[in-house]
Amino acid sequence: MRSVSLLAVAALAAPWLALSDDPARRDFDADPSRPSALANGAFAVETAAPAERGAAHAELLLDYTHGLLSLKSGDRRLGYLLSDRLALHALGSFSLGPVELGTDVPFALVQWSNLSLLTSGGAGGDLAAPIASTALGDIRLVGKSPLLRGTPLDVAAALELRLPTGDGQAFFSDGLAVQPQLLVGRTVGPVRLDASLGYLFRKSGQFLQLVAQDGFTYGLAASIPLPKLGRIASWRAIADLAGQLPRGLDLGSARHRAPLSVRAGVRARVWRSLAVDFGAGTGLAWFGDAGYGRESFRLFAGLRWERVVPAAAHGHEVTPVPEADRDRDGVPDGQDRCPDQPGPAELEGCPDRDGDEVPDIDDKCPDQPGPAKRDGCPPSPEEPVVEIETSRLSLKDAITFDTGRDTIRPESSHIIGEIAQVLNAHPELKRIRVEGHTDNVGSRAYNRDLSQRRARAVVRALEQRGVAAGRLEAKGYGFERPVAPNATALGRAKNRRVEFTILDQNDAPPNGKASQK
């Protein structure tokens, strides 16, 4: 029979178990790299940063890997025994404040094997037993607790328990395993850096001459926020490196190998609490040819959901835990729609470059001020700013006020002047009600009074431009007539508005004009 050797390297084995040579045993995962199970980790390295109390996340992650186990004869690669795997990871975590808990439930949706590489050489029996194309993996339970607080350096301890729920004969289980880790990290300017060092205790696995057993684990990770791209205002570039140094590593032998791989990609918040992960990775040679733990390449993509429960919602007093705030704008990351770009709380932590009260993340024209009803875009020069409709005046721009006051902003003088011209040109519009509306920030009485005062301010401004006082009346409705949900900054901006309702008019305008540019 032709001499063959498996180019796959080690994971780990419990040091108290004696190694018994069994080339058909299997009982190890052909891909020793694991995704982060906690909320704010990198792709394969957990972060030392504490999670705020009540933080939670869930993710469905697809991970495609090529080149898991290869077979060689001498220096010549014969092919892959296990060539490809598409796995689904169901990830989730919840923070209790002092402790953050996470889980990972992996499932191989499909994997491709080629055992004819062995049978064609005369191997059979258990050595060439079929490899299942689908299989459940080992369920992982992860806990993390900070060791230092109030210092520039984040230090935390993590403990991972792997339950033997996977299929070892399908190369999708390491059996029962425990991994304690020390996590260290720090934020330097916009860059987040993390490192991990641990030891994985597990029973040994083997196939052909490869033995997978216990050993040291380590990881390095870095992330940095990226500039806004279209409607994506919050996204980060992430890169990490994860590896293992198995007990008994001999660089001159194929019996033990050291897994080492890198991943890089982005994590982007696409809508409120929803984000996506996507990226690629590859195994790195470690003093020798690539093999087990050093895959040819991988591609991954995930859909994430995150939430934060404020401490006050728990119904009792708690010791506050400092909440993460990467951009230091005073809005916790869990409530910040733009956690990497500073912005005011009233705009959900997002910037507003053009100052039109529409946050850049929602603003279709972030460098040109425009009304919220047009998603922050100004009307084109060809459009009439004011149009007469059957029962109201239609405005393509908005009248704005100083926050919490009835003072009309200078930039609104133009549209008030246009409204006055239309009314003065159309005396058949005998009676107009100027209606003020607000968002729901503040009490009902406060907002009704504010909207009434703002409507009166507009009436006075029109009178100063020649509109007869008897044609106008002011009415404030507060937040009783919203046109958009008040749950977002954009919705609240749309609700802060002034409308003009025609109460009485003659049948036809004398000059036929019904709009004003």
Mean pLDDT of the chain: 85
- The pLDDT assigned to 76 comes to 72
- The pLDDT assigned to 209 comes to 81
- The pLDDT assigned to 305 comes to 92
CA distance 140 to 142: 6
Q: How many CB atoms lie within 10 A of CB 480?
A: 13
Q: Band of the pLDDT at 32, cuts 50, 70, 90?
A: very high
- The pLDDT assigned to 127 comes to 85
Q: Where in the chain is the domain with CATH 3.30.1330.60?
A: 365-516
Under DSSP, is residue 332 helix (H, G, I), strand (E, B) or coil? coil
> Of the CATH numbers 3.40.50.10860, 3.30.160.60, 2.40.230.20, 3.40.50.720, which one belongs to the domain with range 5-308?
2.40.230.20
Of 72-76, 238-242, 389-393, 503-507, where does mean pLDDT reach its minimum?
72-76
Residues 104-159 pLDDT 10s? 999 999 999 998 888 887 777 888 889 999 999 999 999 999 997 767 789 999 99
- The pLDDT assigned to 117 comes to 85
CA dihedral 236, 41, 183, 144 (to 10 degrees): 150
- The pLDDT assigned to 208 comes to 84
Write 316-324 long-range contacts (CB < 8 A, 24+). 318/53, 318/97, 319/97, 321/50, 321/52, 321/53, 321/97, 321/98, 322/50, 322/52, 322/149, 322/150, 323/52, 324/40, 324/49, 324/50, 324/51, 324/52
Alpha-carbon separation of residue 318 from 54, 56, 307 (angstroms): 12, 18, 19
- The pLDDT assigned to 104 comes to 97
Q: What percent of the chain has pLDDT over 90?
A: 54
Q: What average pLDDT does the segment 44-58 reach?
A: 90
Q: What average pLDDT does the segment 422-439 reach?
A: 94
What radius of gyration do the chain's Cα atoms show? 32
User: Is residue 496 over pLDDT 90?
Assistant: yes
- The pLDDT assigned to 150 comes to 66
Q: What percent of the chain has pLDDT over 70?
A: 88
User: Is residue 8 over pLDDT 60?
Assistant: no
Q: What CATH number was assigned to the domain covering residues 365-516? A: 3.30.1330.60
Residues 339-396 pLDDT 10s? 888 888 888 889 999 888 899 988 899 999 999 989 989 988 888 889 999 899 999 9
Residues 198-256 pLDDT 10s? 999 999 898 888 888 899 999 999 999 888 777 777 889 999 999 999 987 776 666 77
Q: Where in the chain is the domain with CATH 2.40.230.20?
A: 5-308
- The pLDDT assigned to 508 comes to 53
User: Is residue 481 over pLDDT 70?
Assistant: yes
Q: Which residues lie closer than 8 Å to 514 by C-beta, 6 or more apart?
A: 387, 388, 426
Start-to-end C-alpha separation, the chain: 90
CA distance 19 to 14: 10
